[in-house]
């Protein structure tokens, strides 16, 4: 392959910082720029842990293996450094930030990407925000609401997509983006992701999901099955359909009796 992978994970083991047992148990994964990968797996397989470890959540500790993002190990990078380098985590349960409007939140996030003596131009920012909201068919008044404060599940996920649209990450990790959404909300969110992808085909996406239904709307190039902290099968979109029919039971059995 001539392309340099955007993300290479080798032999990754990780645990909750103050516990003993690894949740990720030797995970390998390679993403090329512009690819969409889906990771599917049963509850407790470590999918969300993987997302948090990649984003640098302080509750988790890498015990072995390596994560290389755009050619550099990110092991020693703080979460904010990873974000500024181009990693974006769309949260399953985004936190509420009372009293802080989405607009101010995003302005602070952009400000963080500038040098100390530079300042986000207020008018440029307003233009950018309006343009991004228009792209995602969002009402401009949405940006004046305090971040996730009293939001419905669908609004929270739309807010994540809006942030992704403004921050334009090289790698978007989408953690259970479909959870808690009805079919209408799911379609809106998927439409947002597809719009951003169409605009920027270089953006790489790692979708983490329990259910196949999200993959009806966002088409992955590669589907991985994750069980007990590692990838046990990788393939095309047909893997997701197989899982939909057969469930995860077979995979769990295979793990219990190693080959």
Q: Which residues bind another protein (CB under 8 A)?
A: 55-59, 78-80, 82-84, 88-89, 91, 94-100, 104-105, 108-109, 111-113, 146, 163, 167
Whole-Å CA distances, 60 to 9, 109, 189? 16, 24, 28
Q: How remote is the C-alpha of 63 from its chain's centroid?
A: 22
Q: Which is nearer to another protein, 96 or 221 (CB)?
A: 96
> Cα(42)–Cα(15) distance, rounded to whole angstroms?
18
In whole angstroms, the minimum distance from the beta carbon of 104 to another protein comes to 7
Q: Is the alpha carbon torsion for 53, 54, 56, 62 positive or negative?
A: positive
Q: Which is nearer to another protein, 23 or 83 (CB)?
A: 83
What contacts 201, CB < 8 A, 6 or more positions away? 34
- Smallest CA-to-CA distance from 13 within 256, 258, 229 is with 229
Q: Which is nearer to another protein, 96 or 244 (CB)?
A: 96
- Smallest CA-to-CA distance from 208 within 181, 174, 235, 238 is with 174
Q: Which is nearer to another protein, 125 or 217 (CB)?
A: 125
> Cα(226)–Cα(216) distance, rounded to whole angstroms?
19
Q: Which is nearer to another protein, 82 or 224 (CB)?
A: 82
In whole angstroms, the minimum distance from the beta carbon of 116 to another protein comes to 11
In whole angstroms, the minimum distance from the beta carbon of 183 to another protein comes to 27
Whole-Å CA distances, 83 to 23, 117, 164, 209? 23, 20, 11, 22
Contact 217, 190 (CB under 8 A): yes
In whole angstroms, the minimum distance from the beta carbon of 24 to another protein comes to 18
* 72-73: strand order across its sheet: 22-31, 7-16, 60-69, 72-73
In whole angstroms, the minimum distance from the beta carbon of 53 to another protein comes to 12
In whole angstroms, the minimum distance from the beta carbon of 100 to another protein comes to 4
Q: Which is nearer to another protein, 60 or 251 (CB)?
A: 60
């Amino acid at each position: 392959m001539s392309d340099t992978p955007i993300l290479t994970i080798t032999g990754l083991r990780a645990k909750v910082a103050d516990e003993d047992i690894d949740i990720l148990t030797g995970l390998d994964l390679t993403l090329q720029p512009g690819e969409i990968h889906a990771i599917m797996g049963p509850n407790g397989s470590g999918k969300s842990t993987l997302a948090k470890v990649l984003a640098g959540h302080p509750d988790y500790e890498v015990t072995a293996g390596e994560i290389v993002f755009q050619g550099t190990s990110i092991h020693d990078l703080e979460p904010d450094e990873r974000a500024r380098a181009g990693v974006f985590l769309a949260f399953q349960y985004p936190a509420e930030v009372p009293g802080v409007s989405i607009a101010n939140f995003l302005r602070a996030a952009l400000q963080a990407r500038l040098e100390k003596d530079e300042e986000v131009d207020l008018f440029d920012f307003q233009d950018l925000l309006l343009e991004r909201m228009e792209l995602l068919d969002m009402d401009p008044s949405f940006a004046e609401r305090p971040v996730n404060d009293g939001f419905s599940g669908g609004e929270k996920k739309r807010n994540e997509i809006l942030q992704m649209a403004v921050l334009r990450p090289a790698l978007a990790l989408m953690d259970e983006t479909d959870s808690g959404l009805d079919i209408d909300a799911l379609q809106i969110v998927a439409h947002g992701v597809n719009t951003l992808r169409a605009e920027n085909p270089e953006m790489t996406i790692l979708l983490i999901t329990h259910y196949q239904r999200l993959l009806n709307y966002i088409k992955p190039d590669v589907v991985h099955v994750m069980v007990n902290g590692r990838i046990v099968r990788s393939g095309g979109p047909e893997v997701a359909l197989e899982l939909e029919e057969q469930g995860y039971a077979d995979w769990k059995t295979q793990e219990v009796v190693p080959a």
